[in-house]
C-alpha cells in the first residue's frame, strides 16, 4: 500500500514536471538584449535592484505589447549584444545603441528613437578643456566597443584610451585618478555627474550628433516593421514624452538608478 502511494506520488510528480516543462517550451517571449549599466536607458532597479528598468525597457514593453508576447530581458556585456542578436539568443537590442554604418552592415536598425551625443566627464577642480584639442595625448576612460571608445581614440590616440567593459567602471577609474577624462554618452554622463556632484564635472565639446536605434537580426523585416510602428505610435500618443519626462527629468541622478 505504502509502495503504491509512493508510486502514485512519483507519477503525479512526473506529470506536474512534464506539464511545467511543456508550459515553458510553448511560452514564447520577445527577448530584449541589453547592457543594464547605462542609466537612465537601462539600469538595475525595482525591489532589491533585481529588475532591469529604464527608458529602453519602457519602449521595449510597448514593442512587446504590439507584438503580443511577454517581454524577457537578457542582460549582457555591451560588446556581446550584436553577436547575441546574430546567434538568435535575443530578438532585439535596445541599449542606447547608436546607429553606425559599421553596425548597420551586420544588423538592421529601426528608425532613430533618441538623439544623443558624446560628452566629457572630468574631476572637479581640474583645468577645464575648451576644445577636443585639449584632450590630445591625455588619458581617457571609455566603455569598450562604444561610439565614445572610437571618438576618444580619434582625439587622444588609442594608446591613451583605457577600455572598460562597464560604463560605471570607466567613471570610477576617472574618480580614482587613473585617467584624466571619461568620454561617454550625454544622458548617462548627466546621471553619473548628478550622483557625484562634488567629484565630477561635465564638459560639452564639439562631438557629432548620434541617433539610437533598436537593432534586429538582419532580414527580420517582420519584427522591424512592428518596432517602427510602435515607435511612431508612442511618439503620437504621448507615451514617448512621458518616458522622457520620467527617465530624463524626474529620475535622472536618482539613487534609484543604480548602475550596478
Piece of 62-70, 93-101, 170-178, 247-255 that binds ligand GLN (CB under 6 A): 93-101
- Indicate whether 97 belongs to the interface with ligand GLN (CB under 6 A): yes
Residues between 158 and 187 with contacts to ligand GLN, criterion CB under 6 A: 167, 185
Binding mask 110-149 for ligand GLN (x = CB under 6 A): ---------------------------------x--xx--
Q: Give whichever of 62 and 150 is closer to ligand GLN, judged by the CB atom.
A: 150
Q: Which of 43, 98, 141, 160 binds ligand GLN (CB under 6 A)?
A: 98
- Alpha-carbon torsion 204, 205, 209, 215, what sign? negative
Piece of 94-102, 125-133, 169-177, 213-221 that binds ligand GLN (CB under 6 A): 94-102
CB 125 within 8 A of CB 142: no
Residues between 196 and 235 with contacts to ligand GLN, criterion CB under 6 A: 210
Reported for 99-107, long-range contacts at CB under 8 A and 24+ positions apart, including other chains, are: 99/210, 99/211, 99/212, 99/213, 100/147, 103/215, 106/82, 106/218, 107/82, 107/215, 107/216, 107/217, 107/218
Closest CA to 98 of 210, 229, 244, 232: 210
Q: Which of 78, 113, 181, 207 binds ligand GLN (CB under 6 A)?
A: 78
Q: Are strands 30-34 and 92-93 parallel, antiparallel or unpaired?
A: parallel
CB 132 within 8 A of CB 154: no
- Indicate whether 33 belongs to the interface with ligand GLN (CB under 6 A): no
Query: Which stretches of the chain bind ligand GLN, using CB under 6 A?
Result: 35, 38, 78, 95-98, 143, 146-147, 167, 185, 210
Amino acid at each position: 500500500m505504502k509502495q503504491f502511494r509512493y508510486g502514485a506520488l512519483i507519477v503525479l510528480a512526473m506529470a506536474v514536471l512534464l506539464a511545467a516543462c511543456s508550459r515553458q517550451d510553448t511560452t514564447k517571449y520577445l527577448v530584449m538584449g541589453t547592457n543594464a549599466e547605462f542609466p537612465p536607458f537601462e539600469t538595475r532597479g525595482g525591489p532589491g535592484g533585481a529588475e532591469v528598468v529604464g527608458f529602453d525597457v519602457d519602449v521595449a514593453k510597448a514593442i512587446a505589447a504590439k507584438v503580443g508576447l511577454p517581454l524577457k530581458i537578457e542582460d549582457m556585456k555591451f560588446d556581446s549584444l550584436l553577436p547575441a542578436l546574430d546567434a538568435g539568443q535575443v530578438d532585439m537590442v535596445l541599449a542606447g545603441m547608436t546607429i553606425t554604418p559599421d553596425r548597420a552592415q551586420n544588423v538592421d536598425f529601426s528608425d532613430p528613437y533618441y538623439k544623443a551625443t558624446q560628452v566629457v566627464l572630468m574631476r572637479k577642480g581640474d583645468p577645464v578643456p575648451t576644445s577636443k584639442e585639449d584632450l590630445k595625448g591625455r588619458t581617457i576612460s571609455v566603455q569598450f566597443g562604444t561610439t565614445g571608445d572610437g571618438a576618444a581614440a580619434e582625439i587622444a590616440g588609442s594608446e591613451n584610451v583605457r577600455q572598460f567593459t562597464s560604463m560605471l567602471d570607466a567613471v570610477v577609474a576617472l574618480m580614482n585618478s587613473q585617467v584624466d577624462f571619461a568620454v561617454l554618452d550625454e544622458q548617462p554622463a548627466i546621471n553619473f555627474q548628478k550622483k557625484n556632484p562634488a567629484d565630477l564635472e561635465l564638459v560639452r565639446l564639439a562631438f557629432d550628433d548620434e541617433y539610437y536605434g533598436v537593432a534586429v537580426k538582419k532580414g527580420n523585416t517582420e519584427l522591424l516593421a512592428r518596432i517602427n510602428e510602435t515607435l511612431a505610435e508612442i511618439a503620437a500618443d504621448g507615451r514617448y514624452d512621458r518616458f522622457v519626462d520620467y527617465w530624463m527629468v524626474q529620475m535622472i541622478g536618482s539613487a534609484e538608478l543604480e548602475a550596478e
